[in-house]
Amino acid sequence: MSVPEIPPIENSVPQGTGRHLGNEQGVVLIIVLVTILLLSLLGITLLDSTTSELKIVGNGKNNQAAFYDADAALTFAQTYSGIYTQLNSTNTVWPAPGAGHQLQADFSDGQATQSDYNQITLPSGDTALVKVELSSSGTLPAGFGTQEDSSISGGTSFKANYFVITAISSGPNNSSVVLESQIAKIVPQ
């Protein structure tokens, strides 16, 4: 028995209408280009996000440095006794309005950048502005452990001078910190 021969199948699709349906090389090119475009957009987005995060961290460091400088200036003003010997009921502000100086490390004077503040140079080499004001005088704060608290004496041997200290420090990129503190100095009456 012999196997009948199968005649070849002829293409019944008219010429020019989808003759190359099996050729997908152009589709691969389009898919690759779209994938590259999407990956590029993702990369640009990540780069922009990273740049923004770096700016935020940098600003945080600048503000932190300005805060530490203002804190150091505040501590200086709280502990430097030369300030408090100059303040009394007639001279209530250090420096006097319009008489600000630049204090060097050896406490010598120079020209201040703002006339109502004294400018001090900090150990870090940065500068800060400081002003101390005598806000009031009066009785001691409660709980100071004096003879007046225990009712031993009439309560006339000491008084408290209350001061407001303002420290201003500036850092890079226009970062600025203003700290204010209130303290009481106990003095004999």
Task: Give the DSSP per-residue string, 23-65.
Answer: --HHHHHHHHHHHHHHHHHHHHHHHHHHHHHHHHHHHHHHHHH
Task: Give the pTM.
Answer: 0.68
Q: What is the largest CA-CA distance in the chain?
A: 140
Tell me the β-bridge partners of 137: 161
pLDDT at 16: 55
In a 3-state reduction of DSSP, which class is residue 77? helix
Residue ranges in the chain whose pLDDT is less than 70: 1, 9-25, 104-113, 145-156
pLDDT tens track for 84-108: 888 888 889 988 887 777 776 555 5
pLDDT at 21: 56
3-state SS class at 138: strand
In sequence order, what are the residues at sequence separation of 6 or more whose Cβ sits closer than 8 angstroms to the Cβ of residue 138? 159, 160, 162
